[in-house]
Chains A and B, each alone.
Chain A
């Protein structure tokens, strides 16, 4: 009877350890794949390129950017915010000295930026 109890105890411990290790491996592999897919880098490059495009553009200019359908490029204060999709709450922000004369609009896989 005593031996059985110990066995059950060891069994539960093993299951707990296994679940713990599997959870860590799952979280790590998900995180690695998100990093390796380059989504963070893609957002950074999009935000910085858009910033340079806008800051070097003349007034009365319309800039059209073609990108992945889910990507959202928007104005946030004086900077640019790029999100991977609508569920991406944080996104990538880059301050870009934007004034009120700049308007962003999205149409399918295009973002249109109008500088008035």
Chain B
């Protein structure tokens, strides 16, 4: 009889330990969560990044405003592009070159109508350049994801 009561007591003791451990995890988890949200602030630089990338591409494919070669390879040679994080669409007259993750363009359009939580940074710019001494419009659409490091 005494042994059985001891067993029950041991089980009860173990249960109180689970309870204590649960409260400990809850308290520590709370402290960690509060500190993480307070101190792990991210600075979003994607707008500046998009502007510099667009300018670099224009300077690269059209030095001094004159288009030398307009091709996908010529654009790829300008700077290393991480295709999972960037979508680039460049148009020159009727020609068009698209590089990267196309889904980002859809997110950019969606952002105009609805609120997207992890939104990409979107940039649309137009330049006027010369190709064979003819003025042409160079359109650049750029979307940068990089949400983990900026949002």
Contacts and interface: CB of A to CB of B under 8 A. Distances in A.
B132 to A, nearest CB: 27
Interface residues of B, number: 25
Contacts of A31: 32, 35
Interface stretch (B43-51, B101-109, B118-126): B43-51
A40 B52 CA distance: 25
B42 to A, nearest CB: 7
Contacts of A51: 45, 49
Contacts, number: 51
Contact residues of A: prevailing secondary structure: helix
Contact of A78 (B28, B42, B82): B82
Contacts of B48: 52
Give the interface size class of chain A: 20 to 34
Interface centre among B49, B81, B85 (most CB of A within 10 A): B49
Interface of A: 24, 28, 31-32, 35-36, 38, 40-41, 44-45, 48, 51-52, 55-56, 78, 94-95, 97-99
Interface of B: 24, 28, 31-32, 35-36, 39-43, 45, 48-49, 52-53, 55-56, 79-82, 85, 146, 149
